[in-house]
Amino acid sequence: MAAPTAHGHARKVGQFYSNVRQEGVDRRQTQRIIRMRNFNNFMKSILFNTYVKQGDTCLDLASGKGGDLNKWKIQRAQHVVFVDVAAESVEQSKERYENRHTKSFSASFHQADLTRASSDKWSPPLRDGIEFDCVSCQFALHYCFESESQCRQFIKNASERIKIGGVFFGTTPWSEEIMRRYRHAKKVDKKEEFGNSVYKVAFTRGARDPPRIFGATYHFQLEEQVDVEEFLVFQPVFADICKEYGLELVMRKSFKEFFEENREKNMDLLYRMDALETVTENGPREARRGLTYAHAEDVCDNTTVQVGSLSRQEWECASLYVVFAFKKVR
């Protein structure tokens, strides 16, 4: 069930993710979109490698079931605070930590609607006096854009305990690209939705365009992972509010740009995480239902025997996201 402090949409989101089944490694490897999941983890790993230092005290906002526990371990964080709206997710995260990571770093676990509850209202409340070197929020920021007050409370939770010089970093949907594809679908296909067999973004008929700054909703479906209403994140507004709370934007890039900048110098990590499918002129090494690789097959010739690539369908979804980082300046 969702946290007692959760209301409305936050409660629905908490309930949805609590009900998503936690899968073992063997079943994950058979999923149709396993490469995209690994790719997203690769992108997050680059962020962690960039902004988390050995010995840091860290805050993991909307931490879910603890999907980034290994990343905190790899970076040798000293202490991590995990907080999420979903009670079951918090408990599963705590259990995973206690089973595998207690010798790597210390941790505390909290339940709260981060869009409404200040840190003294979390369950349990955040310890007085603790300060963070870095704050992470992965694939969850969009839920705070339900209203201006909720957005401000979320950013306050992210910013108020960061040390001067500390960093708030993460990943979030790219609202400008979402709207570009939506407008194209309306104009060309006469539809209020776009996507493919992997994902779908659907707006209500007659949705405002341009949309509201806060509370602009769309329904997002991602195979086996997501089926909820989300909110557009307007990046200039996000940056302006962060600035009010002492956070200065130092980096924002599309997944495409960020990947291209970091691919060559992180090839070993990319290979270890199995984030791309191996493709030859005859097709992918592991064919998965409905996923196509013609763009990669065409690259292969006598000099290039094979390449690594996501499927066209997975890339169309992954390219809907941006990475960001803010520095605490005051």
Domain spans of the chain? Answer: 8-173+231-260+322-328
Sequence-ordered alpha helix ranges (H) in the chain: 8-19, 25-29, 34-51, 69-74, 87-100, 148-159, 175-184, 235-244, 255-262, 267-272, 294-297, 312-318
Question: Angle 148-159/235-244 helices, nearest 10 degrees?
Answer: 50
Q: Which of 15-24, 92-101, 186-195 has the lowest mean pLDDT?
A: 15-24
Joined tokens for residue 54? 């050995």
Is residue 1 pLDDT above 70, yes or no? no
Domain 8-173+231-260+322-328: give its CATH code: 3.40.50.150
* 41 has binding-site annotation: yes
Is residue 37 pLDDT above 90, yes or no? yes
Range 247-264 average pLDDT: 98
* 274 has binding-site annotation: no
Range 53-76 average pLDDT: 98
Range 195-220 average pLDDT: 96
* 84 has binding-site annotation: yes
* 240 has binding-site annotation: no
Is residue 301 pLDDT above 90, yes or no? no
Q: Would you say 44 and 124 are in contact if contact means Cβ atoms under 8 Å apart?
A: no
State the pTM of this model: 0.92
The predicted structure's pLDDT at residue 304: 76
Joined tokens for residue 102? 């207690």
Q: Which distant-in-sequence residues (6+ apart) come within 8 Å of 215 by Cβ? A: 145, 146, 147, 231
* 143 has binding-site annotation: yes
Q: Which distant-in-sequence residues (6+ apart) come within 8 Å of 146 by Cβ? A: 8, 9, 10, 115, 214, 215, 231
Strands 79-84 and 57-61: parallel
* 282 has binding-site annotation: no
> Which of 5, 328, 33, 18 has the alpha carbon at shortest distance from 159?
328
Residue range 153-186, pLDDT digits in tens: 999 999 999 999 999 999 999 999 999 999 999 9
What is the distance between the alpha carbons of residues 228 and 141, in angstroms, rounded to a whole number?
Answer: 14
